[in-house]
Structure formats: C-alpha cells, structure tokens
Amino acid sequence: MAEAAVLAPPRIRPRLSRDEWLMGGGLCVLALYLAITLLVPLVIMLAKSMQDRDGVFVSLANFIKYFTNPALTGAIGHSLWVSALATLIVIALAFGYAYALTRGCIPFKGFFRLVAMAPLLAPSLLSAIALIYLFGNQGALKGWLFGESIYGPIGIVLGSVFWTFPHALIILITALSTADARLYEASESLGASRWRTFATVTLPGARYGLISAIFVVFTLVITDFGVPKVIGGQFNMLATDIYKQVVGQQNFQMGAVVSLILLLPAVVAFFVERWAQSRQSSAVSSRAVPYHPKPRPVRDLALLGLVSLVALVILGILGMAAFASLAKLWPYDLSLTLRHYDFNTADGGSWTAYGNSIEMAFYTAVLGSLVVFSGAYLVEKTRIAKPLRTATHLLALIPMAVPGMVLGLAYIFFFNAPGNPLNFLYGSMAILVLATIAHFYTVSHLTALTALKQLDPEFESVSASLKTPFYRTAWRVTAPMCLPAILDIAIYFFVNAMTTVSAVVFLYSPATTLASVAVLNMDDAGDTAPAAAMAMLIVFTAGAVRLLHAGSSRWLHRRTQAWRGC
C-alpha cells in the first residue's frame, strides 16, 4: 500500500474514450428531446400559474385564491384518499396475482396472464361505463351496493382498480420472474420456514418492483380523469378540477395551479424511487441459478382461487361493456343490435377516428420504444456525466405525474405560440404522437430500466476489456436479452395510444380525430351505448395486436431467453 502511494503518478483527468463521447452525445440528444416535448411546455404552464388572464405577472395570487377556496382544496383530500385506497387494493391483488403467475404452480398461467392484461386494452372510461351499467340506478347488480351510489368515490375506486391493475402487474411480474434459486436453497438448508423465506428472500427481491408499482399506480389514479369524469358524480378530484377550471371557466391559470399541486406527489415519489434504487442490486448475477417453483397444493389452490376471482371480475366488466354496446335501448329494450356501431350520427365518433387511432398508435409504438429503450440504456450504462444522467432520469419520471390534459394544454401554449419554429406540428398527427410518447414515457422507461438492471454489469466490463464498442455489445447482447421488454414497451405504447384520452383531448384536429376521444365525447353527450361500442372496438383492436404480440414473444422467448433457463 505504502509503496503504491509513493509510486502513484500525479492525478490526471482520464481521457474520454470514443464510447464515452458517443454515449454522452446520445444523452445530450435525449435530454434535448425530453426538454422540448416535456419540460419547456411544462415550464410555460408554470409561468401561466403566476399570471393573470392578460399575462401579467401576479406572483402567488392564484395560489392564494386557490387555497382560500374550500370547494377547491377539498379535492386534495379526495384525490389523496381515493388514490391511496385504490393503490392499496391494486397492489395487494396484483402482488398475489403476479406471485401466482411467477412462483405458483397453477394451471392456465398463459390464460390468466392474458385476462389480467385485458384492462390495458380499454380506455379507462370503459370500466366506468360498465360500472354504470352494472351498479347504476338501472344497473343489473344495483343491490350489491346496499343503497350506496356508484356515482362517487366507490365508482372511482372500483373503476381505477380495474384499469390500473395490469400496470401494477407488469412491474410486479418483471420483479418476481427473476430469482436466484441458490438463495432459496440456502434458506431451505438453513431451516427457514416458508413465511420466513418469503419475508427474507422473495419480498426483498421484489422490493424495487413493489415500490415502483405503488408509485406508478398511485400517480396513475391521482392523475386520471377518465374514470372520475364518467362516474365521479359530484365528487371532485384534482384531475377533474383541472378540467373544470380549464374547460368550464376558461381559467388556464387556475388549471396550472391545480396541476402544480398534482405534481407534488410525483416529486415525493421521485425521491422514494431514488432511495429504493440506491439499495437495489442486480437480481441476476452472471452466476445465478434460475429458480423453478415447486408444487405446494394448499398454497397453489389459494392462489388459483385468487386469480380465478380477479379474472372473473375483469371478464365480467368487459362482458358488461360488450352487452351495453349491443343492447338496443337500455334498459327498456334489450334486444341485440349493431346500430350503436354506426357512429356517424353520434357525437364526435366516426370510423375515420378509428383509422386515425390505429395510425397514431403505430407511429407511437415504433418511435416510442426506440426512444425509450435507447434512453434507458444511456441512463443506465453511461459511465460519465452523472448529473446529466440523473437529470435525464428525472425528466423521464415527470410524465407519470403530469395529467395528460395538462400536458395537452401545455402543448397548446408551447406549440401554438406565434414564432415557435415547431408551430407547423400543431394540429398534426405528429403532435399527437409526441404527446402520447411523452405522456407514457415513465412506465416504459421504468420497464426498460428494470430489464437492464437485471443484467449483470460485467457484460459491459468484459466487452470493454475486449475493446468491443458499446453499441455492438448493446446490439448483440443487451438488446436481444431485453427484447421481450422492448416488445412489451412497444405494445404498451400502441395500446395506450389507442386508449388515451386526456393527453390528446386538446390536441386533435378534424383531420386527426381519435377513437378514444370519441368515446369521451359520446359519453359526455349521453350517447352511452355508442361510447361503449367504440370502446369495445378499441378493445378488440388492441386485443388482436396483443395476441399477435403474445405469439411472437413466445417465439422470441425461445430464441433469446434460454439464459433464464425457463
């Protein structure tokens, strides 16, 4: 040691290698992209919150006005407890479900996985519409609520649980599907009970995923406006308040104030997530032995019961929506008809909108998965410019907390400002694609990061010592190993682009009307049956795409995932 200290040369800055230059440059491009499609529009919104209607700076006057209005501040409490309750239910159910699929020995895993993903195929509005048909004043199961009204917190919680369930499930399955069998063997040979093994091996292994899932679901619920819009009745939430401020009272400044309040949970979530990540170590080292679940009849039966019940509820809600779209004149004439699928007389609906949605979803999937995976790769693997990586990662987390409507409005202010060289994008298909990618960036980013984190960094060290450029390792090793995750991201983008409403509701033009917006508009106008019909059309389309994906990813899994050993 002493000798080494004596011989140590004076400190010099290590020269950046070509790899580092390239990756640093890539990071800069990515940061710029996120700044333009996310940060700058949001900063403009921030500025709006401190202006009066004529654009004069008024400091915190709008905030004071907000906090002295109890009708408005009441929404903060509403949003928090409804989101917390929905999150609690979703995480409990999704963890059990994910555990059953990854660690249980139950039959029909593929089927259950497919069913659980079904809510992803529908706009969040669909669950609310179906709940009205099930539990509304003319609802088939109205008695189940013991006289409580579905219009309000009950409806919002139920609807939110339905549509956010798969979002949590995806993260938890990813977190639980890789485990090192050696840890379980060790635990068993040390005589630990099954509960103790669960508490000391399984849970810590899934800790990062659990925290991510909680953070994701909570912010999804609190920022969603589709469900409370349809079924919230008079129960106001922050997201619907933004809508009311902006749309109803044309008070963009107050809308900006409410959105900033809505941003707070995300800031908290960001620090929690950073903390969790700092404690995360690679789940799979290059020496790991894949874990294979062994049958345990009692546990497996309980798990099968749980997944069957959840699957039944999901299918029931979808089935109700399908029936609603076919019943002639609910509830007086229940004969079946296809007339609600003739959208030309309904509000904002048309088959053109459906075609536009498919086009938009396709572009979003291709461009989105490319940007997100490259971005996550650069954030995770670059060895220089730590502040830039942190900043980029922070940027990538913001969208989760930004209600789509706020993003949409921010886009109007930014892209429609006179003198903005990007003005030509306004009203085009491109702006819808950009907004949708930005809106759904976070979950995709986290999925990509989780997949990348599961790979041992030794792959990079080895290839660096072999003087292989990073992009070759990325292309030959990292990307193929992460291919299932990349495909998941592409499908996630496609399906969300089909189903999103809030991100695009202020941005579509007559040439780019969308199916999901048509669902909202038709429900708003009281055309509930055609709204259900359009929503079902989205479900069928997204379902077909997902089935294709399931087939291709099974093939891919065989080709590229043999290293997982299962």
Partner 1 sequence: MKFVTVFGALVLAGAAFSLHAKTELLVYTAVEADELAKFKTAIEADYPDLDIQWVRDSTGIITAKLLAEKANPQADVVWGLAVTSLKLLADQGYFQPYAPKGVEALDQKYVDSAKPSQWVGQRVWVASLCFNTVEAEKNKLPTPASWQDLTKPEFNGKVVMPNPSSSGTGFLDVSAWIQMWGEEKAWKYMDALHDNIAQYTHSGSKPCKMAAAGEIPVGISFAYRGAQEKSKGAPIEVIAPKEGVGWDLESFAIVKNTKKLEAAKQLADWSVTRKANEMYSEGYAVVAMPGVAKPVPHYPEGISSKMIKNDFEWAAKHREAILAEWAKRYDGKSEPKK
Nearer to partner 1, 240 or 357 (CB): 240
Q: Does 224 bind partner 1 (CB under 8 A)?
A: no
- Can you tell me the distance from the alpha carbon of 492 to that of 95, in angstroms, rounded to the nearest whole number? 20
Q: Does 552 bind partner 1 (CB under 8 A)?
A: no
Stretch that binds partner 1, among 23-31, 80-88, 343-351, 366-374 (CB under 8 A): 343-351
Token pair 């920022």: residue: 223
Nearer to partner 1, 237 or 376 (CB): 237
The angle that helices 203-223 and 252-278 make with each other, rounded to 10 degrees, is 180
User: Quick one: which of 219, 140, 210, 227 has its CA closest to 172?
Assistant: 210
Please name the residue ranges forming H helices in 153-202.
153-177, 181-189, 194-197
Q: Does 135 bind partner 1 (CB under 8 A)?
A: no
**DSSP class of residue 231?**
H
- Nearest distance, CB of residue 177 and partner 1, angstroms: 41
Nearer to partner 1, 53 or 274 (CB): 53
> Contact 393/378 with Cβ under 8 angstroms?
no
Q: Does 346 bind partner 1 (CB under 8 A)?
A: yes
Interacting residues with partner 1 between 69 and 128 (CB under 8 A): 69, 71-72, 74-75, 78
Stretch that binds partner 1, among 17-25, 189-197, 328-336, 553-561 (CB under 8 A): 328-336
Interacting residues with partner 1 between 394 and 413 (CB under 8 A): 409, 412-413
Token pair 């003739």: residue: 342
- Nearest distance, CB of residue 246 and partner 1, angstroms: 6
Buried b (16+ CB within 10 A) or exposed e, 284-318: beeebeebebeeeeebbeebbebbeebbebbeebb
Amino acid at 245: Q
- Nearest distance, CB of residue 546 and partner 1, angstroms: 31
Interacting residues with partner 1 between 524 and 543 (CB under 8 A): 524-528
Q: Which residues touch 345 (CB under 8 Å, ≥6 apart)?
A: none
Two structure tokens written together for 468: 């292989």
**Out of 17, 51, 149, 308, the residue judged to bind partner 1 by CB under 8 A:** 149
User: Quick one: which of 477, 506, 303, 288 has its CA closest to 377?
Assistant: 477
Interacting residues with partner 1 between 492 and 531 (CB under 8 A): 506, 509-511, 521, 524-528
- Nearest distance, CB of residue 250 and partner 1, angstroms: 5
- Can you tell me the distance from the alpha carbon of 136 to that of 147, in angstroms, rounded to the nearest whole number? 11
Q: Does 136 bind partner 1 (CB under 8 A)?
A: yes
- Nearest distance, CB of residue 295 and partner 1, angstroms: 47
Q: Which residues touch 109 (CB under 8 Å, ≥6 apart)?
A: 101
Nearer to partner 1, 206 or 346 (CB): 346
**Out of 132, 171, 495, 515, the residue judged to bind partner 1 by CB under 8 A:** 132
Interacting residues with partner 1 between 413 and 432 (CB under 8 A): 413, 416-418, 423, 426-427
Q: Is the peptide bond before 290 cis (omega within 30 degrees of 0)?
A: no
Interacting residues with partner 1 between 256 and 295 (CB under 8 A): none
User: Quick one: which of 258, 415, 321 has its CA closest to 125?
Assistant: 321
Stretch that binds partner 1, among 67-75, 180-188, 356-364, 394-402 (CB under 8 A): 67-75
The number of residues that bind partner 1 (CB under 8 A) is 59
**DSSP class of residue 333?**
E
Stretch that binds partner 1, among 146-154, 185-193, 219-227, 463-471 (CB under 8 A): 146-154
Q: Does 52 bind partner 1 (CB under 8 A)?
A: no
Q: Does 352 bind partner 1 (CB under 8 A)?
A: no
- Can you tell me the distance from the alpha carbon of 9 to that of 368, in angstroms, rounded to the nearest whole number? 47
> Contact 196/471 with Cβ under 8 angstroms?
no
Q: Does 236 bind partner 1 (CB under 8 A)?
A: yes
Q: Does 244 bind partner 1 (CB under 8 A)?
A: yes
Distances (CA, A) of 161 to 85, 182, 483, 491, 530: 9, 36, 29, 21, 24
Which positions lie near partner 1, rule CB under 8 A?
69, 71-72, 74-75, 78, 132, 136-138, 147-149, 151-153, 229, 233-236, 241, 244, 246-250, 252, 329-333, 344-349, 409, 412-413, 416-418, 423, 426-427, 506, 509-511, 521, 524-528
